[in-house]
Amino acid sequence: MAVRRLSPDQPRDFAFTPENLAWAKETIAKFPEGKEASALIPLLWRAQEQAGGWLSEPALRHVADMLGVAHIRAYEVATFYTMFQLSPVGAKAHVQVCGTTPCMLRGAEALVDVCKRRIAEHPHELSEGGQFSWEEVECLGCCANAPVVQIFKDTYEDLTPEALDRILSALERGTTPQAGSQIGRTTSSPEGALTTLTDPALHDGSRLGAWRARFPELADGSAAAPPAEKPKG
């Protein structure tokens, strides 16, 4: 895992907007007295969203102060969890390319090449104009649809370099590309048609009659209860 440091360029200060402040107070109030620090992650997440996708040092201090904890408590959480960005990200998209084994085997390296060509040579480097950035991340939890990238809250799956190119162009134009499988699969259902469990009788209930006739005592609930387990020892 790479060393995660705060950006050398920091804004002067940070404060929640009135709406986010009200939300933060409500969130803190959900925790028992004395356990308010448990709201640290949701508050950091909201601060990140408010600031355009990254956490500045003033934002970390602001959240820690709200919760009455030492600043280091916020720093250690933000630097540990890679979902928190510690330097500015692209205003239109921060592309997180999954580089874990299933995605790597299915072409993640070619997706990284697209990011290098279209965005910037190095991860966490802003594109010219600051609209895009990228990084490689660990498993995004969509391995069956590898290779995958995540852009803010959406995942784009079953990707090819051409498909990622199209997605970046759409974002550049200001349109929102369709998230999910890029080859039209519903979630992670098989490509084309079902290849296993294809007999509808397996799931349409048509075999229930035969099953009831064969095991009436189970069907009407009159089967003897299994003997109670004897206590051990």
| Interacting residues toward ligand FES by CB under 6 A | 98, 100, 102-103, 139-143, 146, 148
Q: How far is the CB of 36 from ligand FES (least distance, A)?
A: 35
Query: Quick one: 86 or 103, whose CB is closer to ligand FES?
Result: 103
Q: How far is the CB of 80 from ligand FES (least distance, A)?
A: 21
Q: How many residues does the chain have?
A: 233
Cβ partners under 8 Å of residue 199, min gap 6:
none
Query: Quick one: 69 or 139, whose CB is closer to ligand FES?
Result: 139
Query: Quick one: 88 or 147, whose CB is closer to ligand FES?
Result: 147
What angle separates helix 108-118 from helix 161-173, to the nearest 10 degrees? 40
Q: How far is the CB of 199 from ligand FES (least distance, A)?
A: 31
Q: How far apart are CA 180 and CA 155, in angstroms?
A: 6
Q: How far is the CB of 114 from ligand FES (least distance, A)?
A: 16
Query: Quick one: 142 or 164, whose CB is closer to ligand FES?
Result: 142
Q: How far apart are CA 157 and CA 207, in angstroms?
A: 37
3-state secondary structure of 208: helix
Q: How far apart are CA 140 and CA 101, in angstroms?
A: 11
